[in-house]
Amino acid sequence: MMSLAEMKVGKKAEIKAMGGGMSLQRRLSPLNIRIGKRIRKIASQPLRGPVVIEVDGRRITLGRGMAMKVMVEVIE
């Protein structure tokens, strides 16, 4: 397992766990970023900038701090 922040651009993964307690989950889940969902990493901005992921064909930008709390298992 690794975080969204560490995972390589272009790879696909499944979300396995979320840190940061309920408040992070409550923010992410309405955008369909939740445990069990498959995602793809689209881009990562340099110097600890935000991360862009794809969920069900939608692109979402999330800050590095949030990305570090979303744990994933890389599929391919």
Partner 1 sequence: MKLLLIGNQNVGKSALFSRLTGVNVTISNYPGTTVELKQGKLKFDKKTAEIVDIPGTYTLESTSKAEDVAVEMLEKGDVVINVVDATNLERNLYLTLQLLERNIPVIVALNLWDRAVRKGIRIKVKKLERMLGVPVVPTVAVTGEGIKELVSRIGDAKAHRQKRGEDERWIEIGRIIKKTEKIVRRKESLLERLGDASVRPLSGIPIAVAVVFVAFSMIRLIGENLIAHVFDPLFNAYSPLANGLSGLLGPGFIRDILIGKLIGGEIDYVQSMGLLTTGFYVPIAMVLPYIFAFYLILSFLEDSGYLPRLATLMDNLMHRMGMHGLSVVPMLLSLGCNVPGALATRILETRRQRFIAATLMAVSVPCMAQIAMVIGLVGSYGPEGLGIVFGSLFVVWVVLGLVLNKFMKGESPEIFIEIPPYQIPYWNSLLKKLWMRMKGFLREAIPYVLLGVLIINILYASGIISLIGEATAPLVVNVLSLPKEAVGALVIGFLRKDVAIGMLLPFGLSLKQLIIASVVLTMYFPCVATFMVLFRELGIKDLAKSAGIMIFMAFLVGGILNLIL
The site for partner 1 (CB under 8 A) is made up of 9, 26-27, 29-32, 34, 42-43, 45-50, 52, 55-66
Nearest-approach distance from CB 32 to partner 1, in angstroms: 4
Measured distance between the N- and C-terminal CA atoms of the chain, rounded to whole angstroms: 13
Kindly tell me which of 66 and 72 has the beta carbon lying closer to partner 1. Answer: 66
Helix ranges (DSSP H) in the chain: 21-28, 64-69
Residue 8: DSSP 8-state: P
Kindly tell me which of 66 and 71 has the beta carbon lying closer to partner 1. Answer: 66
Nearest-approach distance from CB 9 to partner 1, in angstroms: 8
Nearest-approach distance from CB 57 to partner 1, in angstroms: 7
- How many residues are there in the chain? 76
Q: Which of 66, 74, 76, 75 is nearest to 33 (CA)?
A: 66
